[in-house]
Amino acid sequence: MAVGRSVPPAPATADGAPAADLSTRDRVTQLLLERRAATAAQLGDALGLSPAAIRRHLDAMLADGDVVAREQTVRGHRGRGRPAKVFLLTDAARSRCGTHHYDNMATAALRWIARTGGSQAVEKFAAEQVAALEARCQAALADAGDDPMARAEALAAALTAEGYAASASTIASGGQLCQHHCPVAHVAAEFPQLCEAETTVISRLVGTHVQRLATIAHGDGVCTTHIPGPPPAQSGTTVTTVRTDR
């Protein structure tokens, strides 16, 4: 047996977890703060970790009560097999990151507005909050044309620049605008007027009526807005006039 200096163990945290593991968990936490919800595959890809490695970290975070797992919401046709699970930070984990304090303060402020001014005051506040966002997105859509889906794609890019991690896709019945992150999800869970004001803005920006199918604030993994496509073209008919006065 070779004799030499012993290799010191990897540094550990106060609870005995290796420091390298803590660093990775911090990165997972940061990603979930930014995205709000993500699958194991999405987290692994973003962090450059193998499926087994990311699973090990998520299992540890589940055991510690830092994350919860939910079945991913899938709209429309779904293939065979169980839907992928999405992972979300628990309120306890969010509070340790310092974000919960601001959520709680914003919620308390809206409760005061509701008590003193009623629901209409909350609606007015929500509309004013999204007005600046609408103005910025409107500028980004200046060259998008009139087609609702083209505008939805431009809007998705603008919302992504605002931190919403948005995407637009075409489906059989029209299109969908998906937002994978919501900065006010915790507050909107109690005050859905924030979501309603945002939906109204989306409708104005894409230039057509839209329908909200899911919201992060309601517990879904993604905010999903349906954009109806144009009505099916009707087959042309030819009207023939036959004279009968001969």
- Give 209-233 pLDDT, tens digit per residue: 999 999 988 888 889 999 998 766 5
**Is residue 116's pLDDT more than 90?**
yes
DSSP structural state of residue 70? E
Q: What is the mean pLDDT of residues 68-93?
A: 70
Q: What is the mean pLDDT of residues 179-208?
A: 93
Compute CA 213 distance to the chain's CA centroid, rounded to the nearest angstrom.
12
Question: What pLDDT does 113 receive?
Answer: 96
8 Å CB contact between 140 and 152: no
Where residue 81 falls among pLDDT bands split at 50, 70, 90? low
93 vs 50: CA distance, rounded Å: 24
Q: What angle do CA 45, 49, 53 make, to 5 degrees?
A: 130
Q: Select the more confidently predicted residue: 58 or 100.
A: 58
Q: Select the more confidently predicted residue: 80 or 23.
A: 23
In the structure encoding, which two tokens stand for residue 84, read together? 């992928």
Where residue 59 falls among pLDDT bands split at 50, 70, 90? very high
Question: What pLDDT does 99 receive?
Answer: 59
pTM of the full structure: 0.61
- Residue 212 pairs in a beta bridge with 225
Q: What is the mean pLDDT of residues 24-34?
A: 84
Buried b (16+ CB within 10 A) or exposed e, 173-202: ebbbbbbbbbebbbbbbebbbbbbbbbebb
Question: What pLDDT does 85 receive?
Answer: 84
Tell me the domains of the chain and their CATH numbers.
Answer: 19-72+83-96 (1.10.10.10), 124-228 (no CATH)
Where residue 61 falls among pLDDT bands split at 50, 70, 90? very high
Q: What is the mean pLDDT of residues 134-159?
A: 93
45 vs 30: CA distance, rounded Å: 15
Where residue 80 falls among pLDDT bands split at 50, 70, 90? low
**Is residue 186's pLDDT more than 60?**
yes
